[in-house]
Structure 1
Amino acid sequence: MKAWEDLVGTALLGTRRRPLDLSGQPPAVQEMANARSEPAEQLLAAAAVLTTYRRAGRRALTDVKPLPVAAADERPFIPALARERLARLLAASHPDLLQEWLGVLAGTRFRVPPEFLPLLAESARSKAALRGPLVAVAGSLGAWLGQRNPDWAFLAAPAEESGDVWQYGSLAQRRRWLAARLTDDADAAREALTTSWKSEPADVRADFLGVLAGHVRDADEDFLEAALTDRAAAVREKAADLLGRLPDTRHGHRMAERLRPLVRRRGRVLDVALPQTESGKDEGTVRLRTLVSAAPLSFWTEFGPPAEVVRMTVEGCPPGVLRDAWAAAALRQRDETWAHALIGADPGGRATPPLLGVLGPASQAATIGHLVGRLPTESFARLVHELPRPWTAELGTALLDWIARQDDHRLVSHAAVVIARAVPAGCLRHPLATTRLTMDAGPWRRALTETLNFRREMYEELA
């Protein structure tokens, strides 16, 4: 209201520096203020009357239509114990545990009580990871709230069964539509993607390739080949990564042919020359990394088995560049044999955590058990932070077995926080969680046990 702002401005500057102007005030305020003679008194009277005027001086609204009622939701509310736990999660601000709780709830027949939805929506507004699981459990009342409050618009249930969402929806809605169609009607999803591809911004093209990553198939080769020439580097990198996941592609064969004249073996030495470039050695190193990471790993079989090749002396190029490129290729091609070989050659290397994600559940747990004996406690504790998730039950059990044997150490306590939050539900009855602690147990061990028990109870309450 400009009338109030005028009074505040005059009060801040003083009536001597800024004369009081009552012309913009409502008539009733002018009348009361003009009954005073001093400007300061006029200002105070006007402020007092205008305050009352603003509080109670409005005319009643007419032709007011009631808000539409949210659609009925027949699901029962969560049990009383689960309500108490949700209140604790919101008060303690544990977004990772809250996200897990919402995910568990999404698989049940229950719904969240209405009084919790505004707090959950506010949490999801600032923590995007909570939005997906909250939308799944909020139901019709959540959609109603999303339609009323622009800050909670992510709760509004879009008509994603309609084809219009691909053309007119938000990026999040289009991503969900594409992911769903790639599962239910892959041909229609790919047709929509290729039709709009050239008109999409670069960041959106890269984002959609990320959605395609979980559904890539041989028939996508031509589309991804075309994306290799995209003007955006992020799109080219994504396309190369997805092509690497396909067996026997033209792109892979081209990379192998360009790599072939650069590699030869001399006894226990692997001689790898850098590609010739006009820009010098640095550009040659980049090109070599591109060739090795994109070529099929079967290219290297003529030089020996993976476990032997990765341990050979490398000359002609930086050995670290070659190993990093092998790791990138193993990740793209999901090659367990090469992943084992690379982990065995450099167990403490930066590529070890993602390479562990390539291994099957039993092999992954066995490799972790092997690394426990090869790596110092500090190095293994750091590795825990970088392990790809979600973890399998076998991996979770192996890590709980490891930490149960550890003494107090700063890095071990940090790893305990990760393990307590990341082990799957099947590990929550591990002896570490069910055995009573002694009085001299360290704080980190108590916190680990408490978190495991908290999560187990969370699952039981919603069962």
Structure 2
Amino acid sequence: MKAWEDLVGTALLGTRRRTLDLAAQPAAVQELAADRADPAEQLLAAAAALTTYRRAGRRPLHDVRPLPVAAPDERPFVPPLARERLARLLAASHPDLLLEWLGIVAGTAYRIPPETLPLLAEAARTKAALRGPLVAVAGPVGAWLGQRNPDWAFLSAPPEESGDVWQYGSLAQRRRWLATKLAEDPEAARDALTTSWKSEPADVRADFLGVLAGHVRAADEEFLEAALTDRAAAVREQAADLLGRLPGTRYGQGMAERLRPLVRRRGRVLEISIPQGERGDGTVRLRTLVAAAPLAFWSEFGPPAEVVRMTVEGCPPGVLRDSWATAALRQHDATWAQTLIGADPGGRTTPPLLGVLSPASQAATVGHLVGRLPVESFARLVHELPRPWTKELGTALLDWIARQDDHRLVSHAAVVIARAVPPECLLRHPLATTRLTMDAGPWRRALTETLNFRREMYEELA
């Protein structure tokens, strides 16, 4: 209602800066406010009259047709205990645990009570990660609500298997459609991506390359090479990252050839020359070359364990190690990842490099780091470990936290561990199956309470 918006805007700005436009008010309000000489009194009189006017009701509507009912949903409701837990989650405002709970339900044949949908939809409106699992568990009632509230329109999304989603869907819907098509019909997915590529905004192009990352193959080389010349730096970086994951690409071989004259071994020393005559900072260019070249290039100078421990001259050693780490992540090279972790266990590249290792090696390496790093350093590392965690890693971290004394950083790590360990760790580990007494430290009680809470979520929906 423009009359009300104009009145509120005048009140917020003050009558010294803006006078009320009586012409925008209903005729009855104009008559009552027009005889006030003072603008402030005029505003107050109009506000009083318009407020009463708004509260007085309206004439009944004619030819009103009832709203259509939602389509039937034959799925049973979640069990009573799970329903009570949902109420606790909504009251406590724990979006990460709520997301996990919805994900569990989405993997079952249950649906959620319709009276909880408005609160869940409002939570998903501000936290997009909740939308996918919520749509799955809300069913036809959720779609009915989404059609009647624009803020919850994500609940009434068209079926993601329809072709219209790619053209008209939201970014989240298009991402899911692309991921599904890349797995089920790769050619159709790539055709859709290349057809719309030039018309997509830069951030969307980068986002779609992130989706392609899980399905990249040798046939994508030409498409990714074209993306290396994109206007947006984020797209170029993503394209370089994906090309680095493909063995034997022209891009990687070209980078190795450009790197070869810049590297020389002299005994236990690696002599590195900074690229000259290149556009931009030579050190930045060196990082790009090392990160993009196949790690097999360095076999000319020795095995990884030997090369990594050589003295570096000509450039900061950290530049070379960081670039090796980037290459190991792109090429998913476990040997190089293990070597780099061993050479600098407390380095900032250690957490992502752990994600390259197999589950068994990852857990063993973390167990080794416990003995090499101070408690404070290891506690910080826990925050940065790539997720999702494997059962082996989760068990190793639960074993570690169970042995720790009270410490501020340990208590912070406990919060992460309680939320991130996979469900397989919750069924047997003592921390997730026992409850501590009140004489235990606050962070210990919080740790076991969260673990037990999560375990019970899975048991109630099993």
Q: Normalized against structure 2, the TM-score is what?
A: 0.91
Residue 278 of structure 1 and its aligned partner are, at CA, apart by 5.6
Q: Which residue of 1 aligns with 2:277?
A: 277
Residue 58 of structure 1 and its aligned partner are, at CA, apart by 2.2
Q: Which residue of 2 aligns with 1:452?
A: 451
Q: Which residue of 1 aligns with 2:245?
A: 245
2:27 partner amino acid: Q
Pair 334,46 (structure 1): closer, same or farther in 2 beyond 3 Å: closer
Residue 120 of structure 1 and its aligned partner are, at CA, apart by 0.5
Cα distance between partner residues in 2 of 1:361 and 1:255: 32
Residue 162 of structure 1 and its aligned partner are, at CA, apart by 2.4
Q: Is the 8 A contact 2:414 2:443 kept in 1?
A: yes
Q: Which residue of 2 aligns with 1:256?
A: 256
Q: Is the 8 A contact 2:7 2:20 kept in 1?
A: no
2:395 partner amino acid: T
Cα distance between partner residues in 2 of 1:48 and 1:414: 53
Please give the secondary structure, in 2, of the residue aligned with 1:148: coil
Cα distance between partner residues in 1 of 2:52 and 2:445: 58
Q: Which residue of 2 aligns with 1:338?
A: 336
1:284 partner amino acid: G
Residue 289 of structure 1 and its aligned partner are, at CA, apart by 0.3
Pair 42,125 (structure 1): closer, same or farther in 2 beyond 3 Å: closer
Residue 144 of structure 1 and its aligned partner are, at CA, apart by 1.2
2:431 partner amino acid: L
Q: Which residue of 2 aligns with 1:317?
A: 315
Larger displacement relative to structure 2 (18-27 or 401-410): 18-27
Q: Which residue of 1 aligns with 2:292?
A: 294
Cα distance between partner residues in 2 of 1:365 and 1:424: 14
Cα distance between partner residues in 1 of 2:28 and 2:450: 61
Cα distance between partner residues in 2 of 1:333 and 1:6: 60
Q: Which residue of 2 aligns with 1:304?
A: 302
Residue 57 of structure 1 and its aligned partner are, at CA, apart by 5.1
Instruction: Report Cα offsets for 1:81-136 as digits up to 9, x if no partner.
Output: 11111111111111110100010110111111011000001111111221122122
Cα distance between partner residues in 2 of 1:296 and 1:69: 60
Larger displacement relative to structure 2 (227-236 or 447-456): 227-236
Please give the secondary structure, in 1, of the residue aligned with 2:270: strand
Cα distance between partner residues in 1 of 2:286 and 2:242: 19
Q: Which residue of 2 aligns with 1:405?
A: 403
1:90 partner amino acid: L
Cα distance between partner residues in 1 of 2:22 and 2:177: 60
Cα distance between partner residues in 2 of 1:396 and 1:120: 29
Residue 44 of structure 1 and its aligned partner are, at CA, apart by 10
1:459 partner amino acid: Y
Q: Which residue of 1 aligns with 2:356?
A: 358
2:184 partner amino acid: D
Q: Which residue of 2 aligns with 1:382?
A: 380
Q: Which residue of 1 aligns with 2:27?
A: 25
Q: Which residue of 2 aligns with 1:392?
A: 390
Residue 205 of structure 1 and its aligned partner are, at CA, apart by 1.1
Matching of residue 349 in structure 1 with residue 351 in structure 2 = no
Q: Is the 8 A contact 1:3 1:25 kept in 2?
A: no
Kindly report which structure 2 residues correspond to 1:101-116, keeping only aligned pairs within 5 A, or say none: 101-116=101-116
Q: Normalized against structure 1, the TM-score is what?
A: 0.90
2:403 partner amino acid: R
Matching of residue 83 in structure 1 with residue 83 in structure 2 = yes
> Which residues of structure 2 form unaligned runs of 5+?
none
Pair 98,266 (structure 1): closer, same or farther in 2 beyond 3 Å: same
Pair 125,21 (structure 1): closer, same or farther in 2 beyond 3 Å: closer
Pair 307,49 (structure 1): closer, same or farther in 2 beyond 3 Å: closer
Residue 385 of structure 1 and its aligned partner are, at CA, apart by 0.2
Please give the secondary structure, in 2, of the residue aligned with 1:265: strand
Please give the secondary structure, in 2, of the residue aligned with 1:86: helix
Cα distance between partner residues in 1 of 2:81 and 2:365: 40
Instruction: Report Cα offsets for 1:335-370 as digits up to 9, x if no partner.
Output: 000000000000000000000000000000000000
Q: Is the 8 A contact 1:158 1:173 kept in 2?
A: no
Pair 299,94 (structure 1): closer, same or farther in 2 beyond 3 Å: same
1:380 partner amino acid: F
Larger displacement relative to structure 2 (424-433 or 289-298): 424-433
1:243 partner amino acid: L
Cα distance between partner residues in 1 of 2:170 and 2:188: 19
Instruction: Report Cα offsets for 1:352-395 as digits up to 9, x if no partner.
Output: 00000000000000000000000000000000000000000000
Cα distance between partner residues in 2 of 1:204 and 1:45: 51
Instruction: Report Cα offsets for 1:155-196 as digits up to 9, x if no partner.
Output: 113133222322232222221211111111000110111112
Instruction: Report Cα offsets for 1:302-326 as digits up to 9, x if no partner.
Output: 1111111111111111100000000
Aligned residues: 453
1:414 partner amino acid: H
Please give the secondary structure, in 1, of the residue aligned with 2:147: helix
Please give the secondary structure, in 2, of the residue aligned with 1:60: coil
Matching of residue 423 in structure 1 with residue 425 in structure 2 = no
Pair 409,132 (structure 1): closer, same or farther in 2 beyond 3 Å: same
Please give the secondary structure, in 1, of the residue aligned with 2:265: strand
Larger displacement relative to structure 2 (431-440 or 91-100): 431-440
Larger Rg: 1
Please give the secondary structure, in 1, of the residue aligned with 2:312: strand
Larger displacement relative to structure 2 (437-446 or 252-261): 437-446
Matching of residue 174 in structure 1 with residue 174 in structure 2 = yes
Q: Is the 8 A contact 1:20 1:43 kept in 2?
A: no
1:207 partner amino acid: D
